[in-house]
Amino acid sequence: MSDHAHADIAPGDEAEGLRAFYDALGLGFPLEGRALFGGDDVFEPDVWRVTQRGHRLGYLGAGEISNDELFALPAGWEITRVVAHTFESRRTRRGDVVTVGGHLYCRPRGRWGNERFPFLHIWTMCAGRALRFEDLLERVELKRMSRLGGCPAA
């Protein structure tokens, strides 16, 4: 497969789609996340394998993915805001790899004070959909099982 298999999408477009997702993150999981992880396609049900620190935790359907999988927070904490500072994109044979770094603001449920934590996420994207997500600091990985071969030719 050539590096231009998904040439109809410019390398920066995948980063812009992710930017909209991070801008929408907050107290709930945004609709932009549903588009990234799938779940609307009845002909290709999306199942995601979840691993943490190299140990397989199980499988999730696309509709089951939430902020809890993207940010490893203690039970009882909630996200109040996400600020993504950097977006770097690189085209590969498996899809566009987008690195996103920033800060997560969160608090224990029922409290007012916010805590700030850094995050570093690596996404492998194809045609506006995530193929793989990795939280580098927490070593959590989500991998789409139906597209393990990467980004198909357009």
In a domain? residue 37: yes
Overall domain count for the chain: 1
Query: How far is Cα 42 from Cα 77, in angstroms, rounded to an integer?
Result: 33
Whole-model pTM: value is 0.81
Residue 25: burial class (beta carbons within 10 Å; 0-12, 13-18, 19+): buried
Residue 10 inside a domain? The answer is no
The answer to whether residue 2 sits within a structural domain is: no
Dump pLDDT digits (tens) for 80-115: 889 999 999 998 888 899 999 999 998 888 888 888
Residue 153 lies in a domain: no
In a domain, 97, yes or no: yes
For residue range 17-60, list pLDDT tens digits in order. Answer: 899 899 888 777 888 888 888 755 544 557 899 998 888 888 98
Does a structural domain hold residue 51? yes
Strands 129-135 and 55-61: unpaired
Domain coverage including residue 103: 18-146
In a domain? residue 117: yes
Confidence band of 7 (pLDDT split at 50, 70, 90): very low
Q: Are 34 and 129 in contact (CB under 8 A)?
A: no
52 located within any domain: yes
